[in-house]
Structure 1
Amino acid sequence: MAFYAHKRVEPDGEMSRQTVYAHLIGTAQRAGQCLRSVGLENTGYLAGLLHDMGKYTEEFQQYLEAGDPGRRGSVIHTFQGCRYMMEIFHGEGATFPEIVCAELIAFAIGAHHGLFDCVDPAQRLGFSYRCEKKDISYEAAAAALLSEIPEREIRARFKKAAAEVDGIMGRLDEAYGDDRDYAFETGLLARLILSAVIEGDRHDTGAFMSGPHLRTWPEDMGPVWEGRLAYLEGKLAQFPQETPVEKARHAISERCRAFASREPGIFRLNVPTGGGKTLSSLRYALAHGRIYHKNRLIFVSPLLSILEQNARVIHEYVGDDGLILEHHSNVVQTGLSREELDERELLVQSWEAPIIITTLVQLLDTLFAGKTTAVRRFQALCGSVIVIDEVQTVPAKMLTLFNLAVQFLSEQCAATVVLCSATQPELECAAHPLREKPEEMVPRDETLWAAFHRTELIRLPDRRLEELPEWIAEQMETTESLLVVCNKKSEAAYLLEKTKSEEYGSFHLSAGMCMQNRRDVLEALRTALARREKVLCIATQVIEAGVDISFDAVVRLTAGMDSVVQAAGRCNRGGESRVPRPVYTVNCADEKLGMLRDIRRGKDATLSLMEAFQRMPEKLGGNLFSEEAIRYYYRAVYRDMAEGEQDYYIKEQGTSLFDLMADNRRYADEGCAGAEMFCLRQAFKTAGRYFSVFQEDTTDVLVPYGKGKELIAELCGERCRHDAEHRAAVLQEAAAYCVGIYPYQKKQLEEKGALHSVCDDCARALAEGFYDDTVGLVTETEKHEFWEVRE
């Protein structure tokens, strides 16, 4: 009997079929190739070879021939290969490396269409469930498999795979010993192997179903990096080196270039605002990639505003857009052909491009999220250079996950990781620290840093919110342009209302405004500044990063030092004044931050630093922006965190994501019968379901701002209801006219009849009268009680 894995209809109506054997070999080769650079080629190959063993059954063949989409997934085909690995290689007499290798491969096979828990919250054992499942035609599948792939070949491949796994487990044991971090890293190893299988399976299936779409790249990318480096350095050679700032930027770039010859590892890049960090890190990545034959370069930014700014620089100085994939929500795809759209979708799924520009959310999802589309990209991190911009924005709740993942990428995945920030977090002092302090790529040099000394930080006496408008008005008498950055939207709205004057232009920016509204305000604000008009801008932290704009003075309501430094970066940004300009920080004495825990913690740590600085300024570098001061700040932040708080605590489960992804003590305890038989006890599926980088209890609402009104009308029309492609294009354009609302806001708006669904409930739209072009989203509560609004 012939066994088929997939079928497709040809243009002439004939049916083509791919045999299971051909699919297994194609998947195995691709999975092995993905893991070659990290010494796991045989492990990946064998997992790919057995991943669809369950398709060697009559039940699956009948399902395939029936071609009923409604029955998708109704025939189990992932359990058989999982059981085969466990029965043949996990039995009595198996060595520890063989047991671990068998479990890793069995997990990859069993999870390639969806993660499963090795021990779940009900204390059920994932491997046992798959091995004991009845009516899956296991014996018939095994016999059919072995008729095409000899058992001796499988055993020989397993012996090589076990040796590969033994090597990695030895390194993990040496680094961590028998502790929880060791178990967590083992879980990441399982995810990596699974990633390669998913990539192999989807890649081979896609090639059969629709033909190869993707451009292929040489196995050795060194010559590609060499050519792009020469192009970049040719453009850099044209830069002037006359002013102190230009000379300092050149020196920083040269030091990054020289550092590229260092062995791969985890490094820090701390460059002052305006120091040319994007170009210097790109130059380093290209040079390091050429020397160490890296597979790809990955540039990560926390905010879309920063990403888009960095992307423009990277595109210009790489000089070949065909090398670059941008993976983020603001990519505009209009004008692309169907074939180009299909290719882009494939690239996004696999990150099969030499240079990736993406968000922190996408990177962390790749490492921890539960969807197989996210897991698939993990293999693309192997043998790469990963540059993470503004690393201090990694949420405090996931410091443990982040540190251990970065360590794994560096030590087990042959990746080089560059942590960029002007306020470097003390990751080596976290609860689960980086094992070694990352080396500075450009050690602080006062002779260089002096060129970027554009501001002076001044601490003001505490003031109540109602006292601030009078003080701001006084400053506007002597200041041409002033930026005030608040911690809450309600504070910004209140100050905007109380400081309006005919003597100057007033501007407002907050997350309550849709992106297009903020872009329009920024454009008007830049125009006013360029004309040297007198302006006051009241904003929230949305203006602090990735916004290239400069004011004569800045006021920052006390927050974390990372936020204070970012706000300071909007003052005298271009060195317009040779004399340092003031950046004021003021503690809002009656501020309520109960629901904003991270902001409150950062504010408390900053106040602690300022008090310490008053007592011993010389021990803190004589400057609140010094490395010593920033280190003090982060240690104060970490001290304030409860035990386990950095582990991503999950209240509903009574445990943490770290626990679920490590040894799973919450469920794989002494009362869990049989758990001791397995090395892998992680609750992968449960952990993936709970993982989210940022709070996701918001609902996106399309607002009637500018073209948003037309888009709402379009989505209510007949064409969007019946034309899926047109609807998708309109929804993509509408993203710039959306605002995220919290459950309490949603409830208020629904009670007022201010929300309605459009296009068969594919989106929500806000009614006229509930969006103000100046302050954004408004409700009756927010109009009258600015300082009582929950953020």
Structure 2
Amino acid sequence: MEYFSHTRADKNEYLIDHLRNTGDLASFFALSFGGSEIAEQAGLLHDLGKHTKKFQGVLAGTVHGIDHSAVGAEYYWNKVSYDEEDLIDDPFLAQVICNVIQSHHSDLHGELTDRAIEDYGYMAYPDFDKKVITDNNKENALGSKKELEQIDSYVKDNSLLRVISDETFPETDSMSPEAKMLYERMIYSCLVDADYSSTAAFYDEVDYSTYKKENILNPEELLKKLDEYRAARGYGFSGSGLNGIRNEVYKCCEKAGRELPAGLYTLTAPTGTGKTHALIRFALEQAKKNNQKRIFVVLPYLSIIEQNASEYREIFGEDNCIEQDSQTEIPEEIKLYSDRWDYPIIVTTAVSFFETLCGGQAAKERKLHNTADSVIVFDEAQTLPSFLLDVTMRTLEALTKYFNSTVLLSTATQPDYNQRKNLFDLKAKEIIPDVRGLYEKYGEIRKLDISTNASTPETFEELVECFDINQQLFVFNTTGKALKMFELLKEKYGDDDCFLLSSALCSEHKSDTIKEIKNRISNGMNCYVAATQCIEAGVDLDFPAGMRECAPLPSIIQTAGRINRNGKSVGKFHVFYLDEKNKNGYPGITYRNESYVTRNIIKNMGLDINDNKIITEYYTQIFSGDAEENSDIAEISEAIEELDTHKLYENYKLIEDNDELNVIVPYKPDEFENLHKELSFKNFCISKKEMKAAGNMTVRLYGNRNIREYLDRHCRQLSARSSETGNSIGINWYIVEDVDIYDPKEGLIKEEKEGGFVF
């Protein structure tokens, strides 16, 4: 009997060809971190379950619900454990090979412990006298002892088992739990990418080796382009004022990138000091020095990656930069590069990056191995949540230690990671030689008259009257409070001069509003803006005056960075707090607790945003003792203790998306109407391509039962086609039916009352 791995109308692919091609690709993908022999062995055995009668029936369309992945894992574990074959000396790595084989069509399996071996059935082959259901609710492909003997002969005849030298893999006994788990995910990534790529090559009728042609960085060429871009615009020539500070930061990044080995670093510099160019300079110099293949620029919010990627494309050209996980439609010819992170410069979000780095889903983990041999720079690193900070930092540390990658954490308010009880020995080197001196110079040039009121609550009416200046920014902790201020501003100054920036605006609406605000500021026109914290990152505004509701200290400093940003005069900045009777006055419990810490620091120390002592004191209090913010959530800590990669994947969420709702709104009426008609023709079943295209006119919100009931009254819930059954299934996407619920100034209105809509 001949055994095939895939079929198409005109041709079948022999199983042995697929195994060898996958093994070769997996070995190639793991070259950068010395995992080639491990990854190759996984590739050579991953589809042994297709050498069975049941799976050949799947290809013929006569059998369904068969798990072929378990067979290779069972076979390898029994070979290394019971058949006394001297294949590999490290039982941890043997289990890694079994785990990634069994998981290559599903989620990565769990614990890397002896107990897990029994749980996943590696201890023995199935009982052939009964139907064996694997953990993904499918029937084990292996059906008889005779088939097992045939597989064993097949493996030996084709030399599919490798003796793996202990010189080729790391000393796993000395690796941290996070490093071990990352190593497993890297091997998993190599196998999944190799399997997908080899399969695609068969169906696309191309040679599988085309996937060895990497789209990697040419740092010398891109450094030249960066120099030309900056020279043409006069950057780097002025040595005075804020430009002098920006040049100093840029030169520090250039020098550090050129001289330092791959490692874990921090960049601490004030807001508005030109970090967009400085970060990419550091990354290019590092890539050149350490022979690294690509650069990742990781940003906190989806709304700002497009503008950064746009500037990088302007500097380096379309062929060198791509944004991943953005709302921009990606051309089909380069979509694969985005899906695999195979591009010289990738601009992505922290959510996308970290939920891949600590993930476990086959399709998403495919791209993980391309973070090896890379430079990864994080802007606004202070936004990483405290409840995931230990595992995040330890995993980044492992990435630099075992995978020849460089990580740079950039922020104006650098956390003191060593204050965390589980990060006391983390070594992250600062690349600015004199951070305190830099901030002192910055404070002398960009002057702010700061007032605070940490003792007495203030009212909205008092805040409106605080400054007699025709351009002001008011930032609040919630959308509801920002809306209330917006209404008061309109009463005082008129509708035309007042603006609202919040998550209730779709991204294109928000972008257009920011453009109008910038135009008014630059032309001296009246401009009064009420906003939420969505203004705190990636929004380059320069108001002469502004105020911020008491919040976590980094948020206050970010808002202050939008006041007198270019040092034109003396900016006015006020920090206030409201008389909170509503427990929902903060975005969350952690946010509220950190706001209270900030308020106490202001009471005791005042507020000088350029004094590093205040930032140090803030993180000392945040990370001290047994506070919630001093360790990861219990599920994450348990996953690390148990080396449970699946539990980590299930619980590592930067954003809890279970209650996320996406509402397509009529901001651009013509585009909206066309999409609405298209969807109505398909019974409101939306495709992934249409979701992507609608991204710029979509509002994302987190919904409780009342919000969902409201949307059901004024919107239509959309469905999507199931890839498994072909049936339409209701999803968390809606399209507006009652266009009055989207206001041209306020955005999506989320509640109703008699006589109209309100937030």
Q: TM-score range by the shorter chain?
A: 0.7 to 0.9
Cα separation, partners in 2 of 1:472 and 1:169, compared to 1, 3 Å: same
Q: Indicate yes or no: 2:378 matched with 1:381.
A: no
AA aligned to 1:634 is Y
Question: 1:294 maps to which residue?
Answer: 292
Map Cα deviations across residues 435-458 of structure 1 (whole Å, 9 max, x no partner): 333111123356654256424262
Cα separation, partners in 2 of 1:324 and 1:714, compared to 1, 3 Å: closer
**1:209 Cα deviation after fit:** 1.0
**1:349 Cα deviation after fit:** 2.7
Q: For residues 60-459 of structure 1, what are the structure 2 equivalents within 5 Å?
A: 60-66=55-61, 74-91=65-82, 97-115=89-107, 117-118=109-110, 125-128=118-121, 131-135=124-128, 136-137=142-143, 139-140=145-146, 142-150=148-156, 153=159, 157-160=162-165, 162-165=166-169, 167-172=170-175, 182-212=176-206, 224-238=218-232, 239-240=234-235, 241-242=237-238, 243-260=240-257, 261-318=259-316, 320-333=317-330, 336=331, 341=332, 343-433=333-423, 435-444=425-434, 448-449=438-439, 450-451=441-442, 453-456=445-448, 458-459=450-451
User: For 1:26, which of 21, 30, 37 is the aligned residue?
Assistant: 21
AA aligned to 1:772 is D
**1:26 Cα deviation after fit:** 1.0
Query: TM-score, normalised on structure 2?
Result: 0.87
Cα separation, partners in 2 of 1:92 and 1:469, compared to 1, 3 Å: farther
Q: For residues 446-595 of structure 1, what are the structure 2 equivalents within 5 Å?
A: 448-449=438-439, 450-451=441-442, 453-456=445-448, 458-462=450-454, 467-475=459-467, 477=468, 479-501=469-491, 503=493, 505-575=497-567, 577=568, 579-590=569-580, 592-594=582-584
Question: 1:733 maps to which residue?
Answer: 693
Whether the aligned pair in 2 keeps the contact of 1:708 and 1:734 (CA below 8 Å) is no
CA distance in 2 between counterparts of 1:263 and 1:375 reads 27
AA aligned to 1:423 is T
Whether the aligned pair in 2 keeps the contact of 1:4 and 1:18 (CA below 8 Å) is yes
CA distance in 2 between counterparts of 1:123 and 1:7 reads 35
Cα separation, partners in 2 of 1:778 and 1:465, compared to 1, 3 Å: farther
SS of the equivalent of 2:716 reads strand
Q: Indicate yes or no: 2:623 matched with 1:638.
A: yes
**1:200 Cα deviation after fit:** 0.9
Cα separation, partners in 2 of 1:149 and 1:397, compared to 1, 3 Å: same
User: For 1:610, which of 591, 602, 606 is the aligned residue?
Assistant: 602
**1:414 Cα deviation after fit:** 1.5
Map Cα deviations across residues 670-722 of structure 1 (whole Å, 9 max, x no partner): xxxxxxxxxxxx44334433432212133434354332575256335577518
Q: Indicate yes or no: 2:646 matched with 1:685.
A: yes
CA distance in 2 between counterparts of 1:719 and 1:751 reads 18
CA distance in 2 between counterparts of 1:316 and 1:718 reads 35
AA aligned to 1:26 is N
User: For 1:772, which of 743, 752, 755 is the aligned residue?
Assistant: 743
Map Cα deviations across residues 406-441 of structure 1 (whole Å, 9 max, x no partner): 111111122110111111112222232173331111
* Percentage of pairs with the same residue: 22
CA distance in 2 between counterparts of 1:785 and 1:485 reads 26
Map Cα deviations across residues 644-666 of structure 1 (whole Å, 9 max, x no partner): 873234xxxxxx12312x233xx
Query: TM-score, normalised on structure 1?
Result: 0.83
AA aligned to 1:252 is V
**1:273 Cα deviation after fit:** 2.2
CA RMSD after TM alignment: 3.4
Work out the number of aligned pairs and report it.
Answer: 722
**1:107 Cα deviation after fit:** 0.7
Cα separation, partners in 2 of 1:461 and 1:287, compared to 1, 3 Å: closer
AA aligned to 2:246 is R
Question: 1:667 maps to which residue?
Answer: none
SS of the equivalent of 1:128 reads coil
CA distance in 2 between counterparts of 1:783 and 1:543 reads 32
Question: 2:37 maps to which residue?
Answer: 42
Cα separation, partners in 2 of 1:501 and 1:640, compared to 1, 3 Å: farther
CA distance in 2 between counterparts of 1:556 and 1:786 reads 27
CA distance in 1 between counterparts of 2:571 and 2:702 reads 38
The more displaced of 515-524 and 598-607 is 515-524
CA distance in 1 between counterparts of 2:186 and 2:688 reads 33
Unaligned runs of 5+ in 1: 10-14, 173-181, 615-621, 650-655, 665-681
CA distance in 1 between counterparts of 2:171 and 2:212 reads 28
AA aligned to 2:119 is G
Cα separation, partners in 2 of 1:351 and 1:612, compared to 1, 3 Å: same
**1:558 Cα deviation after fit:** 0.7
Whether the aligned pair in 2 keeps the contact of 1:462 and 1:588 (CA below 8 Å) is no
SS of the equivalent of 2:465 reads helix
Cα separation, partners in 2 of 1:544 and 1:220, compared to 1, 3 Å: closer
Unaligned runs of 5+ in 2: 129-141, 720-727
